[in-house]
Amino acid sequence: MLFSSYAFILVFLPLFLLFWQGCAVFYPKALPLYLLGVSLLFYGLWGLSFLVLLILIISLNWFLGLLVCSWPDKGRTLSRKALFIIALGLNLAPLLWFKYSWFAISNLGLLFGVSWEFSPPGLPLGISFYTFIQIAWLYAVYKNELKPGGLLRHLLFSACFLYVMSGPIVRGSQVLPQYDELRGISVGWLARGLTLFVIGLSKKVILADSIAVYANAVFGAAEKGWQISTPEAWLGSICYTFQLYFDFSGYTDMALGLGLMIGLNLPQNFDSPYKATGIADFWRRWHITLSLWLRDFLYIPLGGNRKGRVRQYVNLFLTMLIGGAWHGAGWTYIIWGAMHGLMLSVNHFFRALIKGTAFEGWGNFLPLRLLSTGFTFFCLNFCWVIFRAPNPESALAVYRPMFRLVTVPDYWPPDQAEGLTRFFNTWLPNGYFDLNGLLLTATCFLLVWGMPNSGQIMAGGGRLFGWRPARGWATGMAFALFACLALLGRKTTFLYFQF
């Protein structure tokens, strides 16, 4: 059950809020237990085996946390640090098995020329997210920043339906104190939460799911080996660049909005990433909780920038390489991570090169900032192609026409004409165009660069766009919700579920 589904919006959410308020009135101490029950039910609807695995992993981590917390630094054959490393290994083992075993075995078979019969295990939903949450919690316990509470409290923190399958990747210090102070629904927080939820739902349903049609048409044609023109390749890649952003940021907004409805403040995950003036700036704005996790648990332990510039660039590259692999078991994700690692290294090298010179202040001039933003978006769009493509060959089928002028032939095979050209009539030789696709793409450009983001809107966002509990905002959100409900019948998915 997705947040952007009839079942969730019309049944699950109203009942959840109704019983939440009833529990708060008659037995407020039971609110954490109620939230835990709802969370386990929500996750269990995707499959009982997934739920059992989730509970086992979380319970194991709670027990390991107790051991790490109470383990003496001296007087044992096994040191506390060694115990923590074993705990990390036990967390990574299920992730490696479910997510990467088939990829590893198939590539080993190709390497040695052996054909092995192996059925890949089903990927538990959100395993990458809740594994990272557990590792961060264990590290905080190991560093004596947190003390393990009861098992039920740890289950609630780890399995809360707001973020267990799609992020943000929360830390114990961010949400555990809030779980100790749960209370009934406030009208003000409910209004803020509903507004943010509808904004996120609109991003997902109206923008991401609509523009996905055009991105899927181009990448689907590339996968089948059909001829793609240069304009189609560029528009298809740009459409996916917008689809991914509005899909993931929209779903995150929905999660944050649901949290606000019951008084929980979850960490922000996006801050206008396509307005970034460099790749380093982009990763401070995109999937912020993942960026911070990679920094704290990969980049810094590898040495960060403490061992010279060359080592820093190597650490950046390795961090992004692993970050790419986190997104999926495939060469396309690894190549995408390597691209970002290389770009980050170049970005840091250039910043170090101009530091202390007259060129350092030039980046504050508006024309150069706009140029930097445009070039950064170009690089991001280029990298998203390999991220979206099912294999490197399909990515090359998009890259070639992007950088070599290719026109659409006068004659198309019937199956190809029924596929790609029905979506991108814009670029046919007869000059017809799909006005809806162009308007949608232009709207995405306007929203990304001309409007404040969701967090800025909810924080005030200026006189024109700042949210306030007023009749105009309520009317606008009602119309947006109605439009989303009218479009929910389309078959869609949430892109980050596969990660």
Separation CA 337–CA 185 (nearest Å) = 42
Active-site residue identified among 154, 287, 327, 348:
327
Separation CA 441–CA 452 (nearest Å) = 18
Supply angle C-alpha 321, 324, 327, rounded to 5.
Answer: 155
Q: Are 205 and 484 in contact (CB under 8 A)?
A: yes
Q: Are 350 and 279 in contact (CB under 8 A)?
A: no
Residue 341 φ then ψ, to 5° = -65, -40
- Is residue 122 left, alpha or beta, with left meaning phi > 0 and alpha meaning psi from -120 to 50? beta
With residue 272 as reference, give the H or E element that holds it: none
Q: Decide if 327 is catalytic.
A: yes
| 168 upstream amide cis, omega within 30 of 0 | yes
Tell me the C-alpha to C-alpha distance, in Å, between residue 462 and each of 275, 398, 467: 18, 41, 9
Separation CA 379–CA 357 (nearest Å) = 26
Query: 298 Cβ partners below 8 Å, 6+ apart?
Result: 318, 319, 322, 323
Q: Which two tokens stand for residue 373?
A: 């933003």
Separation CA 100–CA 118 (nearest Å) = 13
Residue 488 φ then ψ, to 5° = -70, -15
Which residue carries 């409900």 as its tokens? Answer: 485
Return the active site residues: 327
